[in-house]
Structure 1
Amino acid sequence: MKNYKYTFINIKACTLVALLLMMNACTKDFESFNTDTNSISDEQLKVDFNNIGAFFPSIQNAFTTNNMIPMDIGEFLTGGAFAGYFMFPNPGANNTNYSMLEGWAGYGMFGVGYNAIMSPVNEIKRRGAEASAPDFWAVALILKVYGMHKVTDIYGPVPYTKFGQGGTTVPYDSQQEIYNTFFSELDVASKALQDYIVKFPGAKPFSKFDNIYAGDYSQWLRFANSLRLRLAMQIVKVAPDIAKAQAEKAVDPLNGGVFTANEHNAFVKGGSNALYIASQIWGDIRGNAALISCMNGYSDPRLSKYYDPSTIVPGEYVGIRTGSNIQARGDMLKFSNVAAASFVQATPTELMTAAEVYFLRAEGALRGWNMGGTSVKELYEEGISTSLTQWGVGGDAPGYINNDIRKPANYTDPLLPAQNAPAVSDLSVKWDEAATNEQKLERIIIQKWISDFPDGTCAWSTFRRTGYPRLFPVAVNNSGGEISTAIQIRRMNYPGSEYVTNAAEVAKGVTLLGGPDNGGTRLWWDIAGPNF
């Protein structure tokens, strides 16, 4: 993990530039700052919390292409494909056909997690934010937990609790310990924000550093609680009692509430949208057959918001099946691309939405938890209508919610008929109170999956945990038997650089993983078997 140190030097350099520009903008002494950058003292940087605040834009930009390799690009090429959202249009060996090449394994996720999130958060801590600005520290913890829960949910055990304590290597933690730490860190963050809101109502000292909520701590508190709910649900099969307690704590209104409306959604504003770059500029993303076939079958009004019609079958939405036997890139570029009107360079980057929270609450209520006093059906339907409203088609919600005829469609490959696939679910959208709990959960998760787009890691994690939505199996499996075509991929391999710079500790990490370092090994929370 020595490479983390070197990258952080660049982060600190970029931060200094940001500080200079910011200080220049708010002082009359422009010329002196412009001619003598060394004149900025530690005391001057403490004014308006610039000494710690200037790190936050770079942390938030870990999710956009303001960062050199944003986390989201790694998500599109890993979780986004495995969750049935995207496909890689190029021929040859890659993640989507389970070749698990090293260049793909480390791209965007592991490195960005430590270089662009853990390192600056550690620097914020080193500068005393816990004591001097607990409200700023609260936001740092929320961003840290958000970013790193995706890293651990992709790889399993990773360095976390001992990161930044010195030395040339960093120990790995079990995923169970990491999740316990997540909940403890969210406790600290929520308490600090609640205390600050009571003591300084309406104050927004964080506003100039905040590309998500413009300094509104009540929104950050909702984000912390909503994130807690997501994490709680992820461990429901392995630690059901903890999951229930954490979920009920999350939705307790006395703790600040969760997302209940689209104005609560967490989006990073500014920078370049990573999905726009990957799909429109690089041309390395196309729509996946799984989601497009499902939305085609439901006549889902969000389909045109997510994808553009193909030219391979003009005017129709056609995706590429995961792991397809691709012969020529030019042919695959004719399949449906990500919707150009929805994802432009300035489109804010989605972190979490109210629609997802409604579906998480619906699942919790199905399990008998206290999720706010409304029925499973009401939470399920509110999740759908909130998502449709988010995408500008809220007027279609009543007809969509009450449709008990349309079902996910079969997949027809216009180039390779051998890759055709029958629909994997026969559930309509309309709620059925007489269904089994597994059928009710599948219905909830199908709609959660549709609404979570384009958050591939979130959707892939839910698929691994629940088995829903049912996805077309990979068309070509190049794993040599390491990954089951039926069960599908469960995790990513550790980057090869870890075996060079952190060899002894990554070996311990594999021991904590409980299986070989390959895509067929299940994570701690990924328990086989029924959901109830």
Structure 2
Amino acid sequence: MKRITLFSKALFVMALLTFSSCEDKLTELNENPNVVDPSSANPNMLMPTVMADAAKKYLDWGYGDAAGIVQHTQKDGWFSGHNHYDWSPTDWSDYYNQLRNNDFLYKRAVALNYKFHQGVALTMRAFLFGNITDLWGDAPYTEALKGDVSDDLIRPKYDSQEVIYKGIIEDLKAASALFASGDVTGYRTGYDVYFAGDPVKWQKFANSLLLRYYMRVSAKLPDIAKAGIESIYTSGVYIKTSGEDAAMDYAGGVAGNAWPGAAEFNTDPSEFRRRKPAKMLMDQLIATEDPRLKVWFQPVYVRWVADPALATPVDQFIRKNGVIQTGTVSLTDAQFLTETKAGNKFTRHYNPNTFTVAVDNREYVGVPAGLIDPSSFNYNPTPGQVVQNQHVSQLSETYRGSKGGLLKARLISSAEVSFILAEAALKGWSVGAAETHYNNGVKNSLDTWGVGSSYATHILKNGVKFNNTLAQIMEQKWIASWTSAIEAWMDYRRTGLPAFKTGPAAPENVLPVRFIYGDNETNFNNANSVSALGKLEENAHTKIRGKNSQWAKPWVIQGTGKPW
């Protein structure tokens, strides 16, 4: 028995040693050699991901559905969300995923005492949290990104917009101070996709974002806004020319790095052709002979021609260089492109005395907001999505591309900054002359889109020449926000300008003011999201969804009487 016991003990010790050895090997095998050790991560490697993802997301909204909100564009296919504000709950996880990466960047920069990288992380933190609170309202902020600290913080509380906006301002002030030191210790060439490691340009970016957010809260925190904007103007450190814009070029190569909807990555070109210029923007550009019109949009493929001598009320078929093309109602998009590039002109005649349908016979035509059937607009003979509407303009051929030239994700521009200062001057704040800043805003936008040589004549046009009104400043700022429509939406929300009108298919007769909190929040962070919902202001337009509605007013516009 004693021998058996000793043998058993020996086996147990051997087994234990074997298990320990296996455990060591398992631990060794479970260490993924492809994952960066957090304690040795290089912050340079993190910057391009944070910066590129933030820029692409901002452009996706500004060129996408936010452009529908502010009537830069309308869609004639898959259009209800774009044209009618028919929205469902919208998830914000993309933003918080970006913020987690950015938080890692900041912590590594602090650990290494890299001031430049700290400044970048603080600026991007402010930009991303700014997007979140701008679009949704109250949101997790002080307890966000801390789920690894405590189980309690897996369901973070929602901070008020006031707290978040004040935090954004403090982060940007801290970032500006870091960039002012000029210290770029640790930066490696090629990892900054905005400004190539230039701390002077980064400080201008941070200060320009400060101008944006000071103006954002100017109705609620006027003293803070006034002092902040005056201080930055006095410093002279902010974006002043189009060459300083905070913008990112698209790399192309794959769809994820290309301009959204690039033709080379879309087997179905309907995504491009369903996005049309909105009538409100088009009419404004035409009225002032704006040189940006031909940069952004192209003429209709088939122009209407009034012909009182026509024997029938309207041509059944299109005409090529004046000759009826019997049997041809329309061509495909590709065919029209080939034909028009070869110099051929297409028309369709109507007799204004016998044809009772109102048609737009201009060379450039936009789609009115919120139509019940936008694909039929302007007596389109091929409604639906199979063939494009030949009687409505499409976006410029530029936007079929994937990279290069004008295809940039622009986070903030010199035009926006100039219009902010023009508005501040109109308020009587000490920032110089409103007309000077307004003129700079128009010029900077024309420069951005490659038509700056037209400035001297354009600025004197009726409707463009400065008339000392906020309405005109906001109108030109709205035009200049093309592809950056979120900012135009935020401006409308706090000023009610431009005076947008919804279309007949919109469920409400006013524009929405926020996104609907996503289902993940209402399902898994219910107590905190319910608390945040309680702070939203219901009104006559929230009857369909109640407080979690796109028409429920967040703190930043409560009590202002804006935008409606």
Output the amino acid matched with 1:162.
E
- Indicate the RMSD between aligned Cα atoms, in angstroms: 2.8
**From 56, 62, 68, the counterpart of 1:81:** 68
> What code does the residue aligned with 2:465 have?
K
Match for 1:61 among 48, 52, 56?
Answer: 52
Candidates 76, 99, 105, aligned match of 1:118:
99
Which whole-Å deviations, capped at 9, do the CAs of 1:206-263 have from their partners, x for residues lacking one? 532111101111000000000100111111112111111221232232xx60111111
Cα drift, residue 308 of structure 1: 2.0
Measure the CA separation in 1 of the matches of 2:259 and 2:246: 14
Q: 1:120 to 1:312 in 2, by over 3 A?
A: farther
**Paired AA for residue 329 in structure 1:** G
Cα contact 2:515–2:549 (8 A) shared by 1: yes
1:353 matched to 2:413: yes
The corresponding residue for 2:465 is 430
Identity of aligned residues (%): 24
The equivalent position to 1:329 in structure 2, one of 364, 384, 387, is 384
Structure-2 residue corresponding to 1:519? 550
**2:442 & 2:269 partners in 1: Cα distance?**
28
Q: Look up the equivalent residue of 1:264 and give its one-letter code.
A: E
Query: Are residues 1:214 and 2:203 paired?
Result: no
Return 5+ residue gaps in structure 2 as ranges. Answer: 1-30, 252-256, 304-346, 348-361, 376-382, 539-546
Q: Kindly state the Cα deviation for residue 274 of structure 1 after the two structures are TM-superposed.
A: 2.7
| Structure 1 counterpart of 2:231, from 249, 252, 263 | 249
CA distance in 2, matches of 1:275, 1:367: 41
Normalised by the length of structure 1, the TM-score is 0.76
Match of 1:235 in 2: 217
Long gaps (5+) in structure 1: 1-35, 405-427, 434-439, 479-483
Deviation per residue, 1:354-374 (Å, 9 max, x gap):
111111111111111122x3x
- The whole-number CA distance in structure 1 between the counterparts of 2:194 and 2:302 is 39
Aligned letter for 2:446? L
Which residue is 1:303 aligned to?
Answer: 293
Q: 1:384 to 1:92 in 2, by over 3 A?
A: closer
The corresponding residue for 1:508 is 531
Asked if 1:398 corresponds to 2:456, the answer is yes
For residues 142 and 333 of structure 1, do their structure 2 counterparts lie closer, same or farther at Cα, with a shift above 3 Å needed?
farther
Alpha-carbon contact 2:46-2:105 (below 8 Å) kept:
yes
Contact 1:72 1:275 in 2 (8 A): no
Structure ranking higher in helix proportion: 1
Is the 2:65–2:81 Cα contact (8 Å) retained in structure 1?
Answer: no
Amino acid in the other structure paired with 1:228: L
**2:395 maps to 1:338:** yes
Q: 1:273 to 1:194 in 2, by over 3 A?
A: same
Counterpart in the other structure of 2:474: 445
- The code of the aligned residue for 2:401 comes to V
Displacement, 1:300? 0.6
Q: CA deviation at 1:128?
A: 5.4
Letter paired with 2:489: W
Shift of 1:530: 7.7
Q: What is residue 260 of structure 1 aligned with on the other side?
A: 240
Equivalent runs, 1:2-401 vs 2, <5 Å: 38=33, 42=37, 46=40, 51-63=42-54, 70-90=57-77, 93-102=80-89, 105-106=90-91, 110-115=92-97, 117-127=98-108, 129=110, 132-166=113-147, 167=151, 168-195=154-181, 197=182, 205-253=187-235, 257-269=237-249, 270=251, 271-274=257-260, 276=262, 282-283=271-272, 284-311=274-301, 313=303, 316-326=363-373, 328-330=383-385, 333-334=389-390, 335-341=392-398, 344-346=401-403, 347-371=407-431, 373=432, 375-401=433-459
Q: CA deviation at 1:186?
A: 0.7
Instruction: Report Cα offsets for 1:460-480 as digits up to 9, x if no partner.
Output: 1111111111223233123xx
Contact 1:380 1:444 in 2 (8 A): yes
- Cα displacement (A) at 1:127: 3.4
Say if 2:103 and 2:121, in contact at 8 Å, map to a contact too: no
| Superposition deviation, residue 287 in structure 1 | 1.6
* Aligned AA (1:87): Q
- Structure 2 distance, partners of 1:312, 1:158, is 49
Provide Cα deviations, 1:155-181, integer angstroms capped at 9, x if missing partner: 111112211112321221111111000
Match of 1:252, SS state, is helix
Match of 2:410, SS state, is: strand
Question: Contact 1:212 / 1:268 at 8 angstroms: preserved in 2?
Answer: yes
Q: TM-score, normalised by structure 2?
A: 0.72
Check 1:489–1:383 CA distance in 2 against 1; reply closer, same or farther (3 A cut).
Answer: same
Deviations 1:175-199 (A, max 9, x none): 111100001111111111112x1x5
**Number of matched residues?**
439
Whether 1:455 and 2:484 are equivalent positions in the alignment is yes
What SS is found at the alignment partner of 1:268?
A: strand
Residue 91 (structure 1) shift: 5.2
- The match for 2:520 is 497
| Structure exhibiting the larger radius of gyration computed from Cα positions | 2
Q: Matched residues in 1 for 2:300 and 2:179: separation? A: 47
Q: Determine the C-alpha separation between the residues in 2 that align with 1:135 and 1:460.
A: 32
Cα deviation 1:92-131 (Å, max 9, x = unaligned): 64352132134xx34xxx232112x211012223435366
